[in-house]
A and B are shown apart, each in its own frame.
Chain A
């Protein structure tokens, strides 16, 4: 969830509520779903909120929400814009980053706080909507440092332009921010710290994005601006440009920036964006509308409301609602351009619910009758577990993720082949091909376990200081690769048990397995087999109702010793389904 640092004094100034104490502000913010997470070293509030309301990523946005919350402002507000003087020409841009938008903002009064807030807003928008600049990146420039190419009067009123285009990686040079050398874009990616940070974004680009004015290249989106147009507290006029992969996304980001500057008294001026085939006037402050049925508001909130109540609640949420229609009352709801989270009428209902106060709703138990029950597998598993516990086993719970070493090597088997490392043995239980995890984070968890016995032996290994006997069992998940299944992974419930005690023997294990089978009225046979995890001549297949479903035996001393266990271990494992 995003966290922003907000100066409480700025918040008081921008809301016009200078009388509010810090604690009152915190309570009011909590009412908006914005949580106070502590203070910065400079005494700013660290505020955390949900990722849907990206219009609240700055002090200006939060102040706006508070003013609606206080009832100081109602309904939709759209700033007036002056007509365009500047144009962004779009020419031969890289295919990977086709979109651009922008705005001119005049009459800006940036003190240190305001500048910090603007930079923070830019960074937070990059991190969220901009998907770390991949989807949208913002560049803010000092307009006074731009020299626009003159546009002939034939195309309309006199004006100036900049150009968004694509160039060869070493096709031009500029001086990036925080630098004093001319560099090509390719050099920036390898020689400049910010360039190194964002180099991945351009990995698949043949040509790199670049923005030019009459003097030359001044920005290398989405990586870094040029030093020439750097914004400072002296800047009075700004050029905001955004490039990205999706026009809607960068237009919303642009609107959020413009609203923030408007809140500080600046004037927004349109910019023409000239694509090869179309021309846009930006920023896009168009108000969206949704048709919201009155009935849906009532059913979703579970309360009866008068139409004027709904309109009032909508306005308090910063929306406008106009009742329409006779029999089926519907509201045409207007949504301001900085809202990026309203996709469907239910989002409007949620806003109305928040304005009403969800905690004012009285809970009720839904009067709907249904029959409860468990799956057969779940019941079988519970019954088998209860039986194992009755046989004296301590029921365990291990991870389904493990690694090749524990699952195979230390049990003296190898995946798929069933061969032990020394080449002896037939196909072994547990030796199926494992499902593997892509780029695992830890060498402990690289595969899904193909059987559960190794997990139990590991528990023995980690508990040699605990008292014996240690008779452990687990009914759990095991899986292996199997093309015949829907997902390509065959998943099953497996029953595994070990007896670790000074006199553990095959007979002990068999007696318990036999008792378990007897409880489920299934027929058990144990024909001799060979399995590298067990002692030769003391291992058998578990054959239940004629089907080979597992293995039982005395665990091989090499396995026991390798796990630092100092008592003999006998054990078995078989598929739970065999007990059905």
Chain B
């Protein structure tokens, strides 16, 4: 039969008459004891050997024990000092003997308490006498200590017990395994046992030659850690963006695209934002220096937008009582929201005429001069979406958002009426954090005002909402600092460790 080489070696070294210890076998076949143990158990499984287990006591010196083995037991040292002082003739003062012995506490106490017990002499009111017949070389405890120190075995159980009581030795139990050939093992040995070749790496050659059929595969430690691998990975915010896009496309939304640098006209004026609105001042936005202004705006659209700002729309509409200047509207800036795309699509400037019913979205960057912190950067992804249909109501708006947010596990949306220059009614959306249960703002929504829609040429109702993708991601994944993931200060380890979003 063919067996792995280590099993062959163990089988050949084992005896059918007398169990051989693993340690002996390991020494005999020059392999590590753990290899021999493993082989022995496999041979036992095959019925070729018996593995016999015995419990054995192992005695080991403690630190104190090793110290006394070298310097002598304290009571012996005391006795020897007493003899030198002549205490075998007449009692000597205890202090003198102790001083001569070189013993120090706590060894002094140990010496005194064992001195009389072991017959080295007696102590009487501060004087010490020595028994001239006592013989330290026959002190069973000292002998046992010396034997153990030399690696020998002590048969004197009383002495061992005494040493253990004095904490000079520690006694441990261990299992000792021995191997004994079975009859089947003997039979196989007689028939002849061959070592099979052991294989580390399976090679193409072995597959081609058929060599693998006779190969014995070395066991790996399959529980051991493998080397680190850094996989290619989609950025966590991009993953979140893909997820949102998938949900919106599933809900019937078409994607929008358009310029990051745009005229204020599309960013603000088309949204019925008055030109003297505080959010339009320099400090909230990124105005461009070069180029500074857009060349062309559609004349008729500009005229309609200006009229809405000045006069409002409808028979008894009111305008803003704010200045309006086309030149101001031409100024270029980084878009503060992607609602500029909505303005372009609704007005038809984006190239296609949008007719009701329609749903549109984008998940794209917007730019805002905000205070930088864990949740705010100068650039963020805005989820922008809108629905155009005849007669949309606040109930439709609520129903749409409930559906959208429920896709991300956020239910129980609350709608807080709010104010927004280009929507009426307007609502802030609040949702419960899936983990903390805290009520947090998760978006802004509303139905576009007639003063926005009429100049853009839209006759149906349009409801819209916006929200930062980062905020949704934080809600869904619980990650806390946007600065770790977005921008050149990102931490590669954080990105590598980030859990996938799905």
B-binding residues in A (CB < 8 A): 33, 50-53, 131, 134-135, 245-246, 248-249, 288-291, 299-303, 341-347, 349-350, 353-354, 358-359, 361-366, 368-375, 377-378, 382, 385-386, 388-401, 406, 433, 435-439, 441, 445, 448, 455, 458-459, 461-463, 466-467, 469-471, 477, 479, 481, 483, 486-489, 491
A350 to chain B: closest residue by CB = B425
5 contacts between A and B (CB under 8 A): A361-B398, A388-B232, A397-B238, A401-B378, A462-B489
In the complex the two chains form, what is the Cα distance from A349 to B446 in whole Å?
Answer: 13
Given contacts A365-B403, A371-B254, A398-B488, contact A385 B316 (CB under 8 A): no
Interface string of B275-314 (1 = CB under 8 A from A): 0101000110011111110111000000000000000111
A362 to chain B: closest residue by CB = B395
| Residues in B453-493 with C-beta less than 8 Å from chain A | 461, 485-493
User: Which A residues touch B213, using CB under 8 A?
Assistant: none
Q: How far is the CB of A8 from the nearest CB of chain B, in Å?
A: 22
Q: How far is the CB of A250 from the nearest CB of chain B, in Å?
A: 10
Interface centre among B289, B321, B486 (most CB of A within 10 A): B321
In the complex the two chains form, what is the Cα distance from A359 to B358 in whole Å?
Answer: 27
| Residues in B390-447 with C-beta less than 8 Å from chain A | 391-396, 398-400, 402-403, 414-419, 424-427, 447
Closest 6 CB pairs of A and B: A302-B393, A488-B291, A302-B395, A50-B419, A363-B398, A372-B249
Q: Contact: B419 with A401, CB < 8 Å?
A: no
Q: Contact: A372 with B251, CB < 8 Å?
A: yes
Partner of B416, one of A33, A374, A481: A33
Q: How far is the CB of B344 from the nearest CB of chain A, in Å?
A: 10
User: Which A residues touch B378, using CB under 8 A?
Assistant: 399, 401, 445
In the complex the two chains form, what is the Cα distance from A375 to B363 in whole Å?
Answer: 12
Q: Contact: A347 with B424, CB < 8 Å?
A: yes
Partner of A299, one of B278, B367, B393: B393
Given contacts A372-B250, A487-B332, contact A358 B394 (CB under 8 A): yes
Size of chain B's interface in residues, with CB distance under 8 A?
102
Interface string of B242-254 (1 = CB under 8 A from A): 1001001111111
Q: Contact: A372 with B232, CB < 8 Å?
A: no
Given contacts A365-B399, A401-B286, A489-B261, contact A389 B314 (CB under 8 A): no
In the complex the two chains form, what is the Cα distance from A455 to B235 in whole Å?
Answer: 15
Q: Contact: A487 with B314, CB < 8 Å?
A: no
In the complex the two chains form, what is the Cα distance from A435 to B294 in whole Å?
Answer: 13
Partner of A438, one of B289, B312, B424: B289
In the complex the two chains form, what is the Cα distance from A346 to B421 in whole Å?
Answer: 12
B384 in the interface, Cβ–Cβ < 8 Å? Answer: no
Q: How far is the CB of B331 from the nearest CB of chain A, in Å?
A: 9
B357 to chain A: closest residue by CB = A368
In the complex the two chains form, what is the Cα distance from A170 to B47 in whole Å?
Answer: 118
B228 in the interface, Cβ–Cβ < 8 Å? Answer: yes
B379 in the interface, Cβ–Cβ < 8 Å? Answer: yes
Q: Contact: B261 with A448, CB < 8 Å?
A: yes
Q: Contact: A463 with B492, CB < 8 Å?
A: yes
In the complex the two chains form, what is the Cα distance from A290 to B447 in whole Å?
Answer: 19
In the complex the two chains form, what is the Cα distance from A491 to B286 in whole Å?
Answer: 17
In the complex the two chains form, what is the Cα distance from A248 to B378 in whole Å?
Answer: 37
User: Which A residues touch B419, using CB under 8 A?
Assistant: 50-53, 341
Q: How far is the CB of B473 from the nearest CB of chain A, in Å?
A: 12
B289 to chain A: closest residue by CB = A438
User: Which A residues touch B286, using CB under 8 A?
Assistant: 401, 437-438
User: Which A residues touch B414, using CB under 8 A?
Assistant: 359
B187 in the interface, Cβ–Cβ < 8 Å? Answer: no
Q: Contact: B289 with A353, CB < 8 Å?
A: no
B174 in the interface, Cβ–Cβ < 8 Å? Answer: no
Partner of B449, one of A134, A344, A438: A344
Q: How far is the CB of B464 from the nearest CB of chain A, in Å?
A: 13
B262 in the interface, Cβ–Cβ < 8 Å? Answer: yes
Q: Contact: A469 with B230, CB < 8 Å?
A: yes
Given contacts A363-B399, A486-B296, contact A345 B493 (CB under 8 A): no
Interface string of B214-249 (1 = CB under 8 A from A): 000000000000001011111101100010010011
B257 in the interface, Cβ–Cβ < 8 Å? Answer: yes
> Which secondary structure dominates chain B's binding surface?
mixed
Q: Contact: B417 with A354, CB < 8 Å?
A: yes
Q: Contact: A437 with B492, CB < 8 Å?
A: no
B376 in the interface, Cβ–Cβ < 8 Å? Answer: no
In the complex the two chains form, what is the Cα distance from A377 to B363 in whole Å?
Answer: 13
Given contacts A392-B232, A395-B232, contact A401 B367 (CB under 8 A): yes
In the complex the two chains form, what is the Cα distance from A72 to B265 in whole Å?
Answer: 45
User: Which B residues touch A469, using CB under 8 A?
Assistant: 230
Q: Contact: B486 with A487, CB < 8 Å?
A: no
Q: Contact: B233 with A389, CB < 8 Å?
A: yes
Q: How far is the CB of B4 from the nearest CB of chain A, in Å?
A: 38
B389 in the interface, Cβ–Cβ < 8 Å? Answer: yes
Q: Contact: B260 with A477, CB < 8 Å?
A: yes
Q: How far is the CB of B411 from the nearest CB of chain A, in Å?
A: 12
User: Which B residues touch A441, using CB under 8 A?
Assistant: 283, 369
B319 in the interface, Cβ–Cβ < 8 Å? Answer: yes
Q: Contact: B332 with A488, CB < 8 Å?
A: yes
Q: Contact: B228 with A467, CB < 8 Å?
A: yes
User: Which B residues touch A438, using CB under 8 A?
Assistant: 282, 286-289, 292
In the complex the two chains form, what is the Cα distance from A371 to B255 in whole Å?
Answer: 11
In the complex the two chains form, what is the Cα distance from A52 to B446 in whole Å?
Answer: 15
Interface centre among A346, A459, A470 (most CB of B within 10 A): A346
User: Which A residues touch B424, using CB under 8 A?
Assistant: 344, 346-347, 349-350
User: Which B residues touch A433, using CB under 8 A?
Assistant: 290
Q: Contact: B255 with A378, CB < 8 Å?
A: yes
B69 in the interface, Cβ–Cβ < 8 Å? Answer: no
Q: Contact: B318 with A486, CB < 8 Å?
A: no
In the complex the two chains form, what is the Cα distance from A459 to B243 in whole Å?
Answer: 26
User: Which B residues touch A299, using CB under 8 A?
Assistant: 391, 393, 461
B259 in the interface, Cβ–Cβ < 8 Å? Answer: yes
B365 in the interface, Cβ–Cβ < 8 Å? Answer: yes
Q: Contact: B490 with A439, CB < 8 Å?
A: no
Q: Contact: A400 with B233, CB < 8 Å?
A: no
User: Which B residues touch A361, using CB under 8 A?
Assistant: 394-395, 398
Q: Contact: B234 with A300, CB < 8 Å?
A: no
Partner of B417, one of A353, A398, A445: A353
Interface centre among A50, A349, A437 (most CB of B within 10 A): A437
Given contacts A341-B419, A437-B286, A487-B291, contact A291 B400 (CB under 8 A): no
In the complex the two chains form, what is the Cα distance from A402 to B310 in whole Å?
Answer: 38
B496 in the interface, Cβ–Cβ < 8 Å? Answer: yes
B369 to chain A: closest residue by CB = A441
Q: Contact: A301 with B393, CB < 8 Å?
A: yes
Q: Contact: B230 with A372, CB < 8 Å?
A: no
B359 in the interface, Cβ–Cβ < 8 Å? Answer: yes
User: Which A residues touch B367, using CB under 8 A?
Assistant: 400-401
Q: How far is the CB of A88 from the nearest CB of chain B, in Å?
A: 20
B450 in the interface, Cβ–Cβ < 8 Å? Answer: yes
User: Which B residues touch A290, using CB under 8 A?
Assistant: 316
Q: Contact: B395 with A364, CB < 8 Å?
A: yes
B495 in the interface, Cβ–Cβ < 8 Å? Answer: yes
B263 in the interface, Cβ–Cβ < 8 Å? Answer: yes
In the complex the two chains form, what is the Cα distance from A455 to B491 in whole Å?
Answer: 14
Partner of A385, one of B238, B260, B485, B496: B238
User: Which B residues touch A245, using CB under 8 A?
Assistant: 323
User: Which B residues touch A33, using CB under 8 A?
Assistant: 416-418
Given contacts A51-B419, A394-B230, A486-B296, contact A349 B425 (CB under 8 A): yes
A246 to chain B: closest residue by CB = B321
In the complex the two chains form, what is the Cα distance from A545 to B98 in whole Å?
Answer: 102
User: Which A residues touch B365, using CB under 8 A?
Assistant: 400, 477
B317 in the interface, Cβ–Cβ < 8 Å? Answer: yes
A252 to chain B: closest residue by CB = B321
In the complex the two chains form, what is the Cα distance from A486 to B252 in whole Å?
Answer: 30
Q: Contact: A391 with B250, CB < 8 Å?
A: no
Q: Contact: B314 with A344, CB < 8 Å?
A: yes
B179 in the interface, Cβ–Cβ < 8 Å? Answer: no
